[in-house]
Each structure stands twice: as structure tokens, then as C-alpha cells.
Amino acid sequence: MVSGKIGFFGRFARDDRGQLLLVGAVVIAISLVAVVVVLNTVLYTENVTNSEPIATTGDARDIALVVDGDIEPVVHRTNYAERHDSAAESRTAVAESIAEYETLLGVTVARRTPASLHVEVSNQTVGNGVEHDSGAAFVDAANESNWTLARNADVRRYLFSVNRSSLATTDSDAFRIQVEGRSENWNLSVLRQDDDVVLRTDGSTVAASSTCTVTSEQVRIDLRNGSASECSFPFADGVGDDYDIEYENGANASGTYSVLFNGTDAEIPPSSVNSESSESPYRTHAVYELDARLTYTTPELTYRTTFNATLYQP
């Protein structure tokens, strides 16, 4: 009998210990789960906290890419939206346009995120030039057909759009652009043959001489880069810098042209152009290089970067 009781309590003790072990295991498991949850919560919080500056920095870089891509188009539109009678007037116009652009972009950014931006321009380089946008004949302000466009010039940008129907049909009467250096020279003649526009270059070097034909009523010529449709030619080959530019037979061509010189040293004869009027041809100024500094500010950071915008590169 005694041994039976002992056996019963022995089994009870063993069962009790088993239950205690099971309960302990459950408690440990729950504790481990709690630790994992806490650790995951900490890690999640750290990730969220750390990702905010990263995301903000990414936003700043995206804005910088936008501004970098927009500066040159804004400057170009400002340059040719109206006539600028001086270098100072040209710089002021560009600064005002950039300020307006900053305001518009800032409003757009502020609608999306608590941020502000500022764009400041400096080191603006200005060139003087001549615009002819009336579509009329390429005569000067006094209606002269043979005239001087500029002296001691260094062309940065030179675009033409010529109407085929306005052109002469012989070499002697052809509209001609004469570039004269200290010892060398180069010229481009533009004339009409049937339905074609013929471009002929001639100069002091063999490479300077070429002929090409374009079939179009209106021909666009990039004189500085030496191209017209699929034609190509070397501009002012062998002439060097600081040359004079003359127009010959300007009455035998019509359309538009735009020329910009490097710097403001080129001498544009006052009698050749309209200096204080937008009647073609007229003198103007344009910014072709500047620095732009972007400051982008959020509650988490201030991001600054500087761009250099260089326009009308040959």
C-alpha cells in the first residue's frame, strides 16, 4: 500500500515537473517573440528616421537636375525676347528672369514638400550682336546693299534663314558674306539655280573652298558651325580672330539672321544698324555664360550647389 501511494505521488511529481517545463518553455517563447518585436520596432524606427534625410537629399538632387537643365533655356528666351541696348540691361533682364523662374519653381516644390529654394546668378558674360528679324532684304539701316556688319569681330553664333525666291541667279549678283582677317579672307555666296539654293565658299586655303546645294524654299544656315541642311563647310577657315564682316549685294537676299560676338569688343558701325530701335537690322546684347547657385532648404538639411551655363558653343 505504501509503495502504491509512493508510486502515485511519484507520478504526480513527474507530471508536475513536466507541466512546469512546458509552461517555462511557453514563457521563454513569448519572451523571445517580444524581444524580436521590440528589435524589429527599433530597426523600423531607425530605418524611417534615417530614410528621411536620404529622401530629402534625393529630392534636392532631383531639383538640382531640373534647375541645371532649365537655366540655359531661360537665358536664351530672355536674350531674344526683346532688344537689349547695353550689357547691363542684358544682365538685369537675365537676373529678373531667373528670379521669376525661382518663384514659379519654388511654388511647385512647396506644394509637394516643406521646402524652399533660391537661385542666384553671377559672373554673367555678355556679347554684342546684330538681329535682323523682319524677313526683309539684308540691307543696312540706310538701305545700303554693300555694308559693314562688324569690325574686329569674333563670331560666337551666326544663324541665317534665307528665302530662295529672293536670291539672284548669277555669281556676280549673289548675296555674299565677306570675312576679312589681317592677312587671310573667306567668303560665302548664296544664289539660286532653278529650284536649288547654292552655297559657295571661297578663301585663302584649299579647305575653305566648297560648293553645296539645298533644295528648299527657305534655307537655314548655321554659319558659325558651317552647316546648311546636309551640307557642311568650314567657317572662316584660316582667317583667325578679330576679323571684319562685310555684306555684299544684300538687296539680293531676304529672310532673317542673328549674330552674336564673343564679348563686346566687336565694333558695330552705328550707321549700319538701328541702335535704339527694333527695326531691322538692330544692335543688341545677349548673355552667353553665367554661374547659377542653387540653395535648397528643408527642415532636415540645406543643400547648395553651383552650375555653369555656357550657351552657343561652336
pLDDT tens, residue by residue, 222-270: 999 999 988 898 899 889 889 999 999 999 999 999 999 999 999 999 9
- What's the length of the chain? 314
Q: Which three cell numbers stand for residue 152?
A: 574686329
- pLDDT of 234 reads 86
Biggest CA pair distance of the chain: 144
Mean pLDDT of the chain: 85
**Span 35-87, pLDDT tens digits:** 343 334 333 323 333 334 434 567 889 999 999 999 999 999 999 999 999 99
Give CA–CA dist 203/186, Å, rounded: 4
Give CA–CA dist 121/30, Å, rounded: 63
Amino acid found at 70: D
**Span 142-156, pLDDT tens digits:** 999 999 999 999 999
- pLDDT of 47 reads 37
**Span 178-193, pLDDT tens digits:** 999 988 999 999 999 9
Looking at residues 291-298, what average pLDDT do you find?
96
* Residue 206 pLDDT level (bands cut at 50, 70, 90): low
Domain locations along the chain: 51-125+290-310, 134-279
Chain center to CA of 188: 30
Q: Which residues contact 10 (CB under 8 A, 6 or more apart)?
A: none
Going by C-alpha positions, the residue among 283, 294, 289, 303 that lies closest to residue 128 is 283
Alpha carbon distances (Å) from 26 to 31, 83, 188, 250: 9, 85, 96, 101
Q: Which three cell numbers stand for residue 137?
A: 532684304
* Residue 139 pLDDT level (bands cut at 50, 70, 90): very high
pLDDT over 60 (residue 21)? no
**CATH for the stretch 134-279:** 2.60.120
Identify the DSSP state of 142.
Answer: T
Query: What percent of the chain is modeled with pLDDT above 90?
Result: 69
pLDDT over 60 (residue 98)? yes
Give CA–CA dist 173/161, Å, rounded: 19
At 76 the three-state DSSP class reads: helix
Give CA–CA dist 242/247, Å, rounded: 17
- pLDDT of 208 reads 63
Give CA–CA dist 280/268, Å, rounded: 14
- pLDDT of 22 reads 47
Q: Which three cell numbers stand for residue 84?
A: 537689349
- Helices 2-81 and 87-112: crossing angle in degrees, nearest 10, is 160
Please, is 206 exposed, middle or buried when counting C-beta atoms within 10 Å of its C-beta (0-12, 13-18, 19+)?
exposed
Going by C-alpha positions, the residue among 117, 121, 122 that lies closest to residue 104 is 117
**Helix ranges (DSSP H) in the chain:** 2-81, 87-112
**Span 208-223, pLDDT tens digits:** 678 889 999 999 999 9
pLDDT over 60 (residue 281)? yes
- pLDDT of 57 reads 62
Peptide bond into 269 cis (omega under 30): no
- pLDDT of 23 reads 46
- pLDDT of 286 reads 99
Amino acid found at 23: V
